[in-house]
Structure 1
Amino acid sequence: MANTVKMTPTNEKDIGMNGKLSGDDYDVGDLHDDRALLRRVDWRILPVMFLTYFLQFVDKISLNYANVMGLQDDLHMSGNDFSWLATAFFLAYAVAEIPQGILLQRFPITKVLGVNVFLWGVILCCSAAAQNFAGMIALRVLLGMLEAVIAPALTMYTSMWYTRAESTPRYGFWYCGLGMGQIVGGLISFAAQHAPPNMSFHGWRIMFVVIGVVNVVASILVLFVLPENVEKAKFLSQTERDRIAQRLRDDQAGVGQKVFRWGSVMEAFGDLQSWLLVLLTILITIPSGVITTFSSILIKNFGYTSKQSALLNMPSGVVSIAATTLSTWAIARGFSRWLAIDVLLIPTLLGSCLMSFLPRSNQAGCLVGIYMVNTTVAPLALIFAWTGANFKGYTMKVTGSSLVSAAFSIANVIGPQTFQAKDAPAYIPAKITIVAVNAGAIVVSSVLRIVYGRRNARADRLGTPARSRMEGKLANGRMAEEDVQDDVNFRYVY
């Protein structure tokens, strides 16, 4: 059995002159690695975070599966109507980042997230009752507004518990919910397509109801299982809560005090890293958005049936999980984040070429291309981890996470619009776009590494915290928010 942390009361005498907890409260070894403490935190919060991210992705990809289950015929859609369903969702997703960010500033993260999960579950159930394109697009807009909270909320929540070195594999864990969503979504679609054809309540409607109900149940777990913050984590002793807070201060991590500062917003908007992360997210997400929305129809166009398309889409989830797990595992052991992104984008680029330029008669090659493109999912997890690690203070973390999430939604607007009805069934312009943006993403990731490296080198030379020039001018007004000691030791991770 794992060693447990000794639970003794903490008082002012336990804290040394340097602000660190004394070793008397912990067994030797626990003070250094805290593995038992981290395991307790992991088992409490990570399964719920994984479930939440898994379900929101199933919500998104359910439209992909509904497309081959007769949704367009049932709702009398034509032309680019289906592309606009995906576009409307992500337009709403982008616009809602601002109000959702404000809610995350003012209220506990778990409460904001839990209420949103409950509401989007209800909306998804209502989607089963849609009778026309107008009704469905209205519901997709509402769904996009609610799901906009997911990435900023989980990014912020992870930063509340783990140091920057520890956070990357945890980001990877809950982000694997995306790959699991691809696998389970395919099974749900396959099962729903076996409903009797003479039923008025068609298979895609059954699928929406099932997924919606599960989301409603999951919202209860978010609201009542996840602690609002470290201080309110009743499953930990006071000594353990103090230890987590101290570890985050020593690492220059965490979110600091929950204080909103306009100066920090200006720092984030004026920081070159923000816009490089935004551009990188857009370039990486365009292929991901295309695969999320159109992979089933692309597979069907290779000559497979709707049921076969649902099952053949499932290996994409396996690729997503494998790429995310391997990359975050490597980073936890010292592999560079920027290099991991570039390595992951190489099979994405090769898969894009296979999918784009092989003849459709080469079914195996085209399928392999679609599967390889799914390695683009893993870099998105690394970008979320970068954002959580390299933005300091509560306001900057919320702003940075919201910018990246907005970029994610913008890319998902662009992706579906590259698939125009006039280009069917080959969609050559869309496939060429996927190839081009992947090549661009490799360049931007490398540039970001150079920016971080230069800032760290300048900080080493001057003996100051690593930061942008604008942040240096405004830093004095943010020190209270950061709630960190020895800020001079902060360095960007890359």
Structure 2
Amino acid sequence: MNYERVDKELAKYTAGERIEISEEESKRLKKMIDKRVLVIMILTYFIQALDKGTMSFTSIMGIREDLNLLDSNKFPWLTTCIYIAVLFVEYPTNWIIQRVPIAKYLSLNIILWGIVLALHSTATNFTTLVVCRTFLGIFEAVCQPAFLIMSSLWYKREEQAQTVTYWYVMNGAQQIVGGLLAYAFSLLGNDRSVKSYQAIFITYGSISVVWGIFVLWWLPDSPMRAKCFSEEDKKLMVERVRSNQTGLQNKKFRPEQVKEALMDPQLYCYMLIQICTTLPTSGLGAFANIIVKGLHFTTLQTQLLAMVLGAYIVIVLLTSTWIVKKTGQNLLVMGAFVIPSFAGTIVLMTVVNTNTATQAGLLFSYYVVLSFWAAQTLAMSMLSRNIGGQTKKSVVVAANFAAWAAGNAIGPQVFLSYDAPRYFIAFATHMGCYVLLVIVIVFLRFWLKRCNAKKDALAAAGVGAAADDSYTHAFDDLTDRENPNFRYVY
């Protein structure tokens, strides 16, 4: 190991040579990590998704009428402003995450976004609601980049696809629970001092504040700072992720890694995947209940049908991850799950809602469209596994979530009020995204396969560093290109 490149805090918990950890010991350590880290990521993401999704559920509970959001295209901006805020704070947030205790920073932001969400109940017009939504985006921006860093800190490479999927699947879970809770809140009506949609904001905001305080107490910042584990277990947890070869922690800024990140086609592929998936999901998420209600369902029926959509999303994400685990084919699985989205979108654009049968068919097609969401989750897990070097990773993660925010910001804007209720322009835009997504997937697979072939050729030629089973330089803060022993997953 090159101790001049290894983080000083990390160096105290790692040996110069690889320590073999038995499968039984690895499972024991993983269970301890799951209890402290994975549970927090899953529940935090669920709460964040639930908080962010409140606008979709409340959109048919009277808030648009009370706050004069029906005219023009005001309503889409209540989602867009969140992601514009994320776009501006994404790089500063990633810079901070790399340099401060991550658990404490995460908990602070959870508490702050809970307070902001509760303040949504005091909004009296479009302007005040936009201000609240913007601050919500600023504080929620920490969530996903922090979780990607935490996944690489605590989990082995082969575990990260499942880990990312477990917390990302909460997008579907919030639809199920959110739909049920929205149905319950809808029963309160709006003929009392606290209206049904205000009650949702106050309740969810209060829960987030309490949860943020719990995260501050329960979640460790890193394996090296985890006071809840013994010193021996901390050493083993560090050693356990040596084989990732993506580094573990390093606060030194390396400008050469910034240059490499900007010249790596991976960065632009991951950005395009995010744009091509978030543009449809954000629009479909913001307008989910409006679209379903436009199929001639009642308000209460629409709230309950959101639960079915959530269940479908959960099934898609878990199934795609299970197939990847069985086959090892990330990009081929991503491409396969885009196919149903093409079919569902074509049905929504061509079939007219004339009777109960077509109503059911259109609803099912709307559910099927969300199949492409598997590509977004798997791409995030590939990023955490394929990018080495802490500075390079911070740049790629920041760029990835900048694209994620841009796609989310644009998504609701393609749902134009004069195009309701079928939104042909929006669905045509989505079709273009799916086509581009398939092209990017094909190119990325070609590129990563080519890079691995070059490194395999070095190993075959007798270059020992390209076939180092001891992973000697795993913690040297080398990038994936600099480390000849690194192999990409695709």
Fold shared per TM-score above 0.5:
yes
Deviation of 1:341 after TM superposition, in Å, equals 0.6
For residue 65 of structure 1, what is the aligned residue in structure 2? 57
Deviation string 1:373-432 (CA, Å, 9 cap, x unpaired) is 222222211111011011112222222222111111111122111111121222111111
Paired residue for 2:360, among 360, 364, 369?
364
Tell me if the contact between 1:290 and 1:416 (Cα under 8 Å) persists in the aligned partners: yes
For residue 224 of structure 1, what is the aligned residue in structure 2? 217
Deviation of 1:117 after TM superposition, in Å, equals 0.8
Paired residue for 2:293, among 292, 297, 300?
300
Paired residue for 1:130, among 123, 126, 134?
123
Change (3 A) 1:75 1:453: same
What amino acid is aligned across from residue 431 of structure 2 in structure 1? V
Instruction: Please give the alpha-carbon distance, in whole angstroms, between the structure 2 residues aligned to 1:413 and 1:184.
Output: 25
Instruction: Please give the alpha-carbon distance, in whole angstroms, between the structure 1 residues aligned to 2:147 and 2:240.
Output: 20
For residue 3 of structure 2, what is the aligned residue in structure 1? none
**1:30 to 2:27 alignment:** no
Paired residue for 2:398, among 402, 409, 427?
402
Change (3 A) 1:483 1:414: closer
Change (3 A) 1:364 1:483: closer
Tell me if the contact between 2:275 and 2:407 (Cα under 8 Å) persists in the aligned partners: yes
Instruction: Please give the alpha-carbon distance, in whole angstroms, between the structure 1 residues aligned to 2:75 and 2:237.
Output: 47
For residue 424 of structure 1, what is the aligned residue in structure 2? 420
Change (3 A) 1:461 1:379: same
Instruction: Please give the alpha-carbon distance, in whole angstroms, between the structure 1 residues aligned to 2:102 and 2:478.
Output: 18
Instruction: Please give the alpha-carbon distance, in whole angstroms, between the structure 2 residues aligned to 1:401 and 1:377.
Output: 19
Paired residue for 1:266, among 255, 259, 271?
259
Instruction: Please give the alpha-carbon distance, in whole angstroms, between the structure 2 residues aligned to 1:15 and 1:380.
Output: 34
What amino acid is aligned across from residue 300 of structure 1 in structure 2? K
Deviation of 1:347 after TM superposition, in Å, equals 1.5
What amino acid is aligned across from residue 423 of structure 1 in structure 2? D
Consecutive unaligned residues of structure 2, counting only runs of 5 or more, are: 1-10, 467-473
Deviation string 1:252-289 (CA, Å, 9 cap, x unpaired) is 13433232223222222221110011011111122211
Change (3 A) 1:431 1:319: same
Count how many residue pairs are aligned between Structure 1 and Structure 2. Answer: 463
Deviation of 1:15 after TM superposition, in Å, equals 8.7
Tell me if the contact between 1:384 and 1:401 (Cα under 8 Å) persists in the aligned partners: no
Tell me if the contact between 1:110 and 1:228 (Cα under 8 Å) persists in the aligned partners: yes
What amino acid is aligned across from residue 35 of structure 1 in structure 2? K
Tell me if the contact between 1:124 and 1:209 (Cα under 8 Å) persists in the aligned partners: yes
Paired residue for 1:42, among 34, 56, 69?
34
For residue 388 of structure 2, what is the aligned residue in structure 1? 392
Scaled by the length of structure 1, what TM-score is found? Answer: 0.89
Query: How do residues 91-490 of structure 1 correspond to structure 2 at under 5 angstroms?
Result: 91-361=84-354, 362-463=358-459, 480-482=476-478, 487-490=483-486
Instruction: Please give the alpha-carbon distance, in whole angstroms, between the structure 1 residues aligned to 2:23 and 2:411.
Output: 50
Instruction: Please give the alpha-carbon distance, in whole angstroms, between the structure 1 residues aligned to 2:440 and 2:256.
Output: 27
For residue 81 of structure 1, what is the aligned residue in structure 2? 74
Paired residue for 1:52, among 23, 44, 47?
44
Tell me if the contact between 2:392 and 2:479 (Cα under 8 Å) persists in the aligned partners: no
Instruction: Please give the alpha-carbon distance, in whole angstroms, between the structure 1 residues aligned to 2:89 and 2:402.
Output: 9
Deviation of 1:332 after TM superposition, in Å, equals 2.4
Partner SS, residue 124 of structure 2? coil
% same residue:
32
Instruction: Please give the alpha-carbon distance, in whole angstroms, between the structure 2 residues aligned to 1:377 and 1:356.
Output: 20
For residue 6 of structure 2, what is the aligned residue in structure 1? none
Structure with the greater relative contact order (CA < 8 A, sep ≥ 6): 1 or 2? 2
Change (3 A) 1:480 1:281: same
Instruction: Please give the alpha-carbon distance, in whole angstroms, between the structure 2 residues aligned to 1:370 and 1:426.
Output: 11
Partner SS, residue 328 of structure 2? coil
Scaled by the length of structure 2, what TM-score is found? Answer: 0.90
Instruction: Please give the alpha-carbon distance, in whole angstroms, between the structure 2 residues aligned to 1:267 and 1:221.
Output: 39
Instruction: Please give the alpha-carbon distance, in whole angstroms, between the structure 2 residues aligned to 1:172 and 1:90.
Output: 22
Taking only aligned residues, the RMSD between alpha carbons, in angstroms, comes to 2.2
Change (3 A) 1:221 1:351: farther
Change (3 A) 1:483 1:97: closer
Deviation of 1:102 after TM superposition, in Å, equals 1.9
Instruction: Please give the alpha-carbon distance, in whole angstroms, between the structure 2 residues aligned to 1:438 and 1:376.
Output: 8
Instruction: Please give the alpha-carbon distance, in whole angstroms, between the structure 2 residues aligned to 1:459 and 1:196.
Output: 64
Q: Please, which moves more after superposition, 146-155 or 322-331?
A: 322-331
